[in-house]
């Protein structure tokens, strides 16, 4: 504990659960906001992915210390309950940059020991940082459309589950707030909740929808050629060009009640079809985020080792095993995909070196092929060591947005992509995960992600799915468009959605 902050009397209490909880049922049982960091792997996945998929976290926002930080319209909004004011101050609005506010909040957060061996989560801040926060790192000057650029919650209640089924309930208690501590101790006695003992959410229903491209396929292919022109003229080496698809159930009433969350039901359908190490379901105010990401942005352990695992290079799997083996081998030997991946590895090495100990940045794995339920992907691993005391917000800021979603050089590539895309990306291309109170961080890249915004009456206002790919000089427009379709179908296909592009 850190006595300098006067926070030594706060601690995490962990209770081992006697059965494996259904995290989907727990998420559905509450009308409060939730962040579910949902890890899994398909059968036959490589051992290299086991560590990434070891733990799932369901973070609950209905505890007495639960605090909200969102950054919207370039302003920071903090909603702080009385029990947490001694740490985070009173509720307020500030005209400050998001990463500066985040750095202050992490500095004020009570230092807590991780109570479960092997699990890097000791309660703390969970949620997302959207792509448009890249403007704070000389990126395009935009804000998200219809929702906040960031929404993080300090959570004092969570359930963590290991891949082998072991599970714990975690709660924050503090002697200086005995009433709040008593409420959390009472919650620990029944974290499953009596109301969740009925049927689990129905994961078999859903509304078939049409996913309509923001621009026609021909327009996307023309933008690929524009990227190649920029590359030929020396303005970039690689540009991550994206687009978005509107998913057509807009106007559906989607109110949340006990045991009722239609967007969660849809997420459960997708997760059954496509296990990934960095799945996530977020219910944050009017926002619903369903992510099936296979990609880690950054992981920092409590001791200060940081790891990035960029993905570049994707192939759709073939149902025939022999043909699928050929597809996998083709990805492994593709000069274009390898070049894409290596460029982003170099970019990440530079990003990490901004805050790491000089000489500590190493490439642990280069262009390894990993196989998931619907795709094969090229994955690399870059690691570094951080100096003692370095701000975790500064580490993330230095590498933000994720290089795999920008291109290289980052500033030039993002400017080119922004001009061609002509719209903000929002949650998509940002990051999802946690800043733990023990100093650990684990963030995924928000790809394969469906984002829904509700209006004040609980009616769907918009639903969008972003997809894109890295354009290099050797790219062909048709192949890049095919990759967009592959990524989109890998998620929306499980919902029965058809593509109109």
Point out the residues that are catalytic: 295, 312
SS (H, E, C) 376-427: EEEEEEEEEECCCCCCHHHHHHHCCCCHHHCEECHHHHHHHHHHHHCCCCCC
d(CA 201, CA 259): 7
Question: Residue 244's beta-bridge partner residues?
Answer: 466
- How many helices (DSSP H) and strands (DSSP E) are in the chain? 11, 25
Sign of the alpha-carbon torsion through 399, 404, 408, 411: negative
**For residue 185, what is the enclosing H or E element?**
helix 178-189
Tally of CA atoms within 13 A in the half-sphere of 310 that contains its CB: 32
Residue-by-residue DSSP string for 431-485 = EEEEEETTS-EEEEE--SEEEEEE-TTSBEEEEEEEEEEEE-TT--HHHHHHHHH
Q: Three-state SS across 252-303?
A: CECCCECCECHHHHHHHHHHHHCCCCEEEEEEECCEEEEEEECCEEEEECCC
Tokens standing for residue 195: 């109301």
Question: What is the distance between the alpha carbons of residues 309 and 295, in angstroms, rounded to a whole number?
Answer: 7
SS3 at position 500: strand
Measured CA to CA, the distance from residue 105 to residue 84 in angstroms comes to 12
CA gap 281, 278 in Å, rounded: 10
CA torsion angle 126 131 137 139 (round to 10): -170
DSSP state for residue 495 in the 8-state scheme: G
């Amino acid at each position: 504990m850190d006595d300098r902050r006067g926070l030594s009397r706060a601690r995490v209490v962990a209770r081992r659960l006697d059965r494996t909880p259904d995290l989907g049922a727990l998420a559905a049982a509450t009308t409060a906001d939730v962040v579910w960091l949902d890890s899994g792997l398909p059968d036959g996945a490589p051992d290299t992915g086991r560590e990434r998929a070891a733990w799932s976290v369901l973070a609950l926002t209905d505890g007495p210390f639960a605090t909200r930080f969102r950054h919207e319209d370039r302003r920071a909004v903090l909603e702080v309950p009385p029990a947490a004011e001694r740490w985070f101050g009173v509720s307020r609005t500030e005209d400050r940059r998001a990463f500066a506010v985040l750095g202050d909040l992490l500095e004020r957060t009570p230092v807590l020991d991780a109570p479960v061996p092997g699990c890097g989560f000791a309660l703390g801040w969970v949620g997302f940082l959207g792509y448009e926060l890249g403007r704070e790192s000389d990126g395009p000057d935009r804000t998200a459309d219809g929702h906040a650029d960031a929404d993080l919650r300090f959570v004092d209640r969570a359930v963590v589950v290991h891949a082998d089924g072991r599970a714990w309930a975690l709660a924050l208690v503090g002697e200086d707030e005995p009433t709040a501590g008593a409420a959390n101790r009472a919650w620990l006695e029944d974290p499953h909740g009596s109301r969740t003992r009925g049927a689990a959410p129905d994961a078999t229903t859903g509304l078939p929808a049409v996913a309509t491209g923001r621009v026609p396929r021909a327009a996307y292919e023309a933008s690929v050629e524009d990227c190649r022109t920029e590359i030929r003229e020396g303005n970039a080496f690689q540009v991550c060009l994206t687009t978005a698809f509107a998913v057509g159930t807009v106007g559906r009433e989607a109110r949340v009640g006990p045991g009722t969350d239609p967007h969660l039901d849809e997420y459960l359908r997708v997760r059954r079809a496509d296990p990934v190490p960095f799945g996530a379901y977020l219910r944050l105010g009017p926002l619903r985020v369903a992510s099936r990401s296979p990609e880690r942005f950054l992981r920092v352990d409590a001791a200060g080792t940081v790891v990035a695992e960029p993905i570049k290079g994707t192939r759709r799997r073939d149902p025939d095993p022999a043909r699928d083996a050929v597809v996998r081998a083709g990805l492994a030997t593709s000069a274009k995909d390898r070049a894409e991946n290596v460029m982003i590895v170099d970019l990440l090495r530079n990003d990490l070196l901004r805050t790491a100990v000089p000489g500590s940045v190493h490439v642990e794995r280069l262009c390894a092929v990993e196989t998931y339920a619907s795709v094969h992907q090229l994955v690399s691993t870059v690691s570094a060591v951080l100096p003692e005391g370095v701000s975790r917000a500064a580490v993330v800021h230095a590498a933000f947005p994720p290089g795999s979603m920008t291109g290289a050089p980052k500033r030039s590539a993002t400017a080119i992509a922004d001009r061609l895309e002509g719209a903000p990306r929002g949650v998509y291309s940002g990051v999802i995960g946690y800043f733990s109170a023990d100093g650990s961080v684990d963030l995924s890249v928000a790809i394969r992600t469906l984002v829904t915004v509700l209006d004040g009456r609980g009616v769907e206002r918009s639903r969008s799915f972003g997809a894109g790919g890295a354009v290099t000089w050797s790219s062909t427009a048709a192949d890049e468009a095919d990759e967009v379709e592959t990524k989109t179908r890998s998620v929306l296909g499980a919902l029965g959605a058809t593509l109109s592009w």
